[in-house]
């Protein structure tokens, strides 16, 4: 191990109530239980939000533990991350999001990869925590922050965009670019990846499943919808800034199909039911096959427990919800951009 790597671990958090505080405490406990205090220089929590707290119990458990208050209670994630970078004394920055439960060896796995030639940043794997709801299980299987099972199944490999959920990079690289504080809806790590690559195209971003963390899912259909709508707005901001292609729109296809079903009722009241059944069955088999293939490839208890027939039955509905919400977010942001241009 390279003894010159002295990372500062940073967790950013917005704590408005006890629920958010419990998420933060989950991460702090996990870090203290899975790392040697001598393996990092300090642990910084950058906090904002309405709830005031001090957490003195972690001062003795975590090396050089300190809380940094963001003076802006409404600070976005980019502002929080930049404040953490400016406060850090280590020569490497490690980000660990609040709500993470970490597996032993995660920090050493990140440090091992960042030592390699031309590696600018390393992201670890983030898998969904076991959910008590069908909605949460479906979300965890279809799409999860940090790549979820889909990215984990590919093993260690070079990636185009890193994520900062569990992450390491040289401090000097982050200080040169910093996170864009005009991005209000996430995707700040994607933006930073793009800007680093534009200036240093030979630099590599690595994903390693050996640095493993678990994070909660969105456990209601409303949470899933709002999360994806916000993500859609963030991706539209990235498209506006960098012209990075996005996936095709789904919403117009879905509502065109609904319109056809309604129109078909003129011919027969049975026809809309038949068309909807065919539409559902096609998506059910298509999505179920992907998930069962994933289950066969990744043999973990969490994945096995998440995949069952009731969950697979609901997978198409969650898939449609996520894609429609994502498109609504993109459309919202596009309309706001048009209005700004018009007003200027």
Per-block mean pLDDT, blocks of 10 residues, the chain (344 long): 76 88 91 92 91 81 89 85 95 94 95 93 94 93 92 94 95 95 91 96 96 94 96 94 89 86 80 88 95 89 86 95 96 87 72
Q: Strand 166-170 to strand 92-96: parallel, antiparallel, or no bridges (unpaired)?
A: antiparallel
- pLDDT for 1 equals 40
- pTM score, whole prediction: 0.90
Tokens found for residue 114: 């960042």
Residues whose CB is less than 8 angstroms from the CB of residue 296 and which lie 6 or more positions away in sequence, other chains included = none
Model pLDDT, residue 269: 77
Q: Are strands 157-159 and 92-96 parallel, antiparallel or unpaired?
A: unpaired
Query: Which structural domains are found in the chain, ordered by start?
Result: 7-217 (3.90.550.10), 240-343 (no CATH)
- Reduced to 3 states (helix: H, G, I; strand: E, B; else coil), residue 153 is coil
φ/ψ of 114, rounded to 5, equals -70, -20
- Helix, coil or strand: residue 42: strand
**Which residues have C-beta within 8 Å of that of residue 276, sequence separation ≥ 6?**
261
User: What pLDDT, on a 0 to 100 scale, did the predictor assign at position 344?
Assistant: 67
In angstroms, what CA-CA distances link 180 with 78, 94, 298?
6, 18, 36
Q: How crowded is the C-beta side of 118, counted as CA atoms within 13 Å?
A: 7
């Amino acid at each position: 191990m390279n003894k010159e790597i002295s990372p500062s671990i940073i967790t950013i958090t917005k704590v408005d109530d006890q629920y958010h505080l419990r998420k933060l405490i989950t991460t702090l406990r996990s870090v203290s239980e899975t790392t040697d205090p001598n393996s990092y220089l300090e642990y910084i929590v950058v906090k904002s939000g309405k709830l005031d707290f001090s957490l003195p119990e972690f001062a003795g458990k975590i090396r050089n533990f300190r809380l940094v208050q963001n003076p802006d209670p409404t600070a976005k994630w980019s502002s929080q991350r930049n404040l953490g970078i400016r406060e850090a004394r280590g020569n490497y920055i490690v980000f660990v999001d609040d709500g993470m439960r970490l597996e032993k060896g995660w920090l050493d796995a990140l440090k091992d990869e960042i030592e390699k030639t031309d590696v600018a940043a390393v992201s670890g794997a983030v898998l969904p925590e076991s959910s008590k709801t069908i909605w949460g299980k479906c979300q965890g299987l279809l799409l999860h922050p940090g790549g979820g099972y889909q990215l984990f199944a590919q093993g260690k490999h070079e990636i185009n965009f890193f994520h900062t959920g569990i992450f390491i990079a040289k401090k000097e690289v982050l200080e040169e670019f910093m996170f864009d504080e005009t991005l209000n809806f996430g995707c700040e790590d994607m933006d930073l990846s793009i800007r680093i690559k534009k200036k240093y195209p030979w630099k590599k971003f690595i994903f390693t499943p050996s640095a493993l963390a678990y994070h909660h899912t969105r456990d209601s259909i409303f949470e899933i919808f709002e999360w994806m709508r916000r993500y859609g707005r963030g991706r539209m901001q990235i498209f506006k800034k960098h012209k990075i292609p996005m996936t095709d729109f789904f919403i117009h296809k879905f509502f065109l199909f609904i319109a056809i079903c309604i129109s078909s009722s003129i011919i027969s009241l049975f026809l809309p039911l038949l068309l909807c059944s065919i539409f559902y069955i096609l998506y059910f088999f298509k999505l179920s096959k992907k998930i069962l293939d994933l289950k066969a490839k990744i043999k973990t208890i969490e994945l096995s427990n998440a995949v069952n027939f009731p969950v697979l039955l609901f997978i198409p509905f969650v898939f449609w919800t996520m894609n429609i919400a994502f498109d609504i977010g993109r459309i919202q942001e596009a309309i706001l951009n048009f209005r700004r241009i018009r007003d200027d």
